[in-house]
Amino acid sequence: MVVRARGLWETLAAAPVSFAGPGGVTVVASPGSGLCPPSWAGIVVIGDAAIVTAPTDAAARALRRALVPVPVESLTRAEVVRAVLPVTDVLGPATLGYVSRDGFRPVSDGDAVGQLAPGYRDLRDLRDLRGLVGAAGPEDVGESGIEEITSPAFVVREGTDVVAAAGYRTWPASTAHVGVLTAPERRGRGLARRVASAAVAHALAADLLPQWRPGPVESRRVAGLPYRSGFGRWGRS
């Protein structure tokens, strides 16, 4: 699983780069890196090694001098990076979770989970649903990624209203980036885990590697949800 996860981020780096051995930090110049926004530096730690992308060769040299001596486990701590580099802004850190078939713990009881085909109108325009997107707010919706999924949507309804939805967007290297959204007034009832479980099962059946990367708001909102489903904390970005 670590090999597959590293393969994803090596691909997203958009430049020839590989994770080094234990404790290794590899820095490469990549203006088109998918690890970060344009003109930013991106840091991804998977297991006990890290890769770093920089927008220019000069930036790569500076990052290499500053970051290679830093312990890998500290590379995604903003205060550590600020101590060795003139940082103006930081995004993250975000935890990277992955799960295998053997480690997955599906949910098998509770509310029935329905499935909507990819492109179904409910997901193309969630504002048609009973307050799910409007009540959640743009920050929750954006972090959930639910409007970007390419898989079927897995939903729980109350009457005709969708109150929880999950799915995944297919990423490079046969990866399924999982997202979930629950109506605020329905949270705390296990609905998120239920729909997420269905989405993860679908991804595993397609031989994809499920990835969970919650942002700061989503981390508070779903707390330990992915880890109760068997996801392991394999890295940070």
Closest alpha carbon to 72 in 26, 4, 28: 26
Strand partners of residue 211:
98, 177
User: Which residue pairs from 34-39 have beta carbons closer than 8 angstroms and sit at least 24 positions apart in sequence?
Assistant: 35/9, 35/237, 36/91, 37/91
- Long-range contact set of residues 167-172: C-beta below 8 Å, sequence gap at least 24: 167/123, 167/199, 168/199, 168/200, 168/202, 168/203, 168/208, 168/210, 169/145, 170/208, 171/8, 171/12, 171/211, 172/8, 172/11, 172/12
What contacts 43, CB < 8 A, 6 or more positions away? 35, 50, 51, 52, 67, 75, 76, 81, 237
Q: Residue 120 has what pLDDT?
A: 52
- pLDDT at res. 130: 47
* Adjacent-strand bridge partners of 51: 26, 44
Q: What residue spans define the domains of the chain?
A: 2-93, 98-236
Taking only the tens of pLDDT, the chain with its 237 residues reads: 899 999 999 999 999 999 999 999 999 999 999 999 999 999 999 999 999 999 999 999 999 999 999 999 999 999 999 999 999 899 888 889 999 999 999 887 766 888 877 655 444 444 444 456 556 666 666 677 878 889 988 988 877 778 888 999 999 999 999 998 887 777 777 888 899 999 999 999 999 999 998 765 554 555 567 777 888 888 888
What per-residue confidence (pLDDT) applies to 222? 57
Instruction: Write out the two tokens for 190.
Output: 């296990």
Distance CA 108, CA 198 (A): 9
pLDDT value at position 84?
95
Confidence at residue 129, expressed as pLDDT on a 0 to 100 scale: 47
Distance CA 20, CA 17 (A): 9
Residue 46 burial class via C-beta count within 10 angstroms: exposed 0-12, middle 13-18, buried 19 and up = buried
Rounded CA-CA distance 169/153 in Å is 10
Is there a contact between 196 and 176 (Cβ–Cβ < 8 Å)? no
Q: Which residues pair with 182 in a beta bridge?
A: 164
What values do phi and psi take at 84, rounded to 5?
A: -120, -5
Per the DSSP assignment, residues forming a β-bridge with 98 are: 211, 232
What is the structure's pLDDT at 182?
83
What local confidence, expressed as pLDDT, does residue 133 receive? 55
CATH (residue range 98-236): 3.40.630.30
Instruction: Tell me if residue 11 falls in helix, strand or coil.
Output: helix
